[in-house]
Amino acid sequence: MKDVEVVLLESLDYFKDSYIYHPVEYALMAGGKRLRPRILSLVGDIYRAPEEDLEVLMMALEWIHNYSLIHDDLPGMDDDNFRRGQLTLHKKFDEATAILAGDALLNGASELILRHSLSLEGARLKNFLQAGYLLLKAAGSHGMIQGQMVDLHPSLDQEDYMKKTNELFYAAFMIPLVLVEADGQERGDMELCGRSFGNLFQHKDDLDDQELDHYNKKDLVILREVMDKALERLESNRPEIKQLRKFIQEALYG
């Protein structure tokens, strides 16, 4: 499997000869932890999912994540001037260009998925389309966008707040299992891992940003216990899951 940064750099060829190339490059290659595609890649390696399918979905996942950051930074939302140690896109270029760059990444993610599906057939095609659907649904109006709405409007149901971060992590953990048609028990345990990780990461992110923390200590203990037990069950069948456990520990507590 190629390194995540290599995959993302190669993905910029999609925007070649487009006027939006440089704004997208500025946003996409600004660094960051790349947690979502790294999780997808790691779980994909453990389950031996098709590498080409994984790479396309890694690109699409990180494009969607970056589109959400670009729009999140806009004056109408969080109105941030800096991200990852550099000017936000609307400050580097302008607000309209930032909106279009975000739109280009979101639409591009869908096109990547559909274009790659044209080269597949049979069970692999079916599994890939199901994985792509899972990703796009996670980013949609009942997923990440639902959480963003709660973030903007605190009077809405706070139980949906975590979706702004939780859903894309859920997709990263689950996509490889969809690609290989993993059984129901493994999918259930991996979903518990993904959602617990997403909620714990949002808690960490809120504390780092000195924002309102949506969890009390008891909730956090329960989340960690749920995730640890699910990892134990997964590891009993696949010893390689210990690599995922190590990654999770470093991401949350390292």
Who wins on pLDDT, 205 or 173?
173
Please tell me the distance from the alpha carbon of residue 211 to that of residue 227, in angstroms, as a whole number: 24
Place of tokens 């069970």: 123
List, for residues 50-83, the tens digit of each pLDDT value: 999 999 999 999 999 999 999 999 999 999 999 9
State the pTM of this model. 0.94
Whether the CB-CB separation of 199 and 163 falls below 8 Å is answered with no
Whether the CB-CB separation of 77 and 88 falls below 8 Å is answered with no
Whether the CB-CB separation of 223 and 197 falls below 8 Å is answered with no
Q: Under CATH, domain 4-253 is a member of which superfamily?
A: Farnesyl Diphosphate Synthase (1.10.600.10)
List, for residues 82-93, the tens digit of each pLDDT value: 999 999 999 999
> What DSSP line would sit under the chain, residue for residue?
---HHHHHHHHGGGGTT-TTHHHHHHHHTS----HHHHHHHHHHHHHT--HHHHHHHHHHHHHHHHHHHHHHTSTTTT--SEETTEE-HHHHS-HHHHHHHHHHHHHHHHHHHHHHHTT--HHHHHHHHHHHHHHHHHTSTTTHHHHHHHHH-TTS-GGGTTHHHHHHHHHHHHHHHHHTT--HHHHHHHHHHHHHHHHHHHHHHHHHTT------HHHHHHHHHHHHHHHHHHHHH-TTHHHHHHHHHHHHH-
pLDDT band (50, 70, 90) for residue 215: low
Please tell me the distance from the alpha carbon of residue 243 to that of residue 248, in angstroms, as a whole number: 9
Residues 6+ apart with CB under 8 A from 224: 196, 200
List, for residues 91-143, the tens digit of each pLDDT value: 999 999 999 999 999 999 999 999 999 999 999 999 999 999 999 999 999 99
pLDDT band (50, 70, 90) for residue 230: very high
Please tell me the distance from the alpha carbon of residue 224 to that of residue 196, in angstroms, as a whole number: 7
List, for residues 162-195, the tens digit of each pLDDT value: 899 999 999 999 999 999 999 999 999 999 999 9
Q: Taking the alpha carbons of 192, 198, 203, 204 in that order, is the dihedral positive or negative?
A: positive
What region does 183 belong to: left with phi over 0, alpha with psi -120 to 50, or beta? beta
Residues 6+ apart with CB under 8 A from 177: 43, 47, 186, 187, 190
Confidence check: pLDDT of 150 > 80: yes
Who wins on pLDDT, 243 or 253?
243
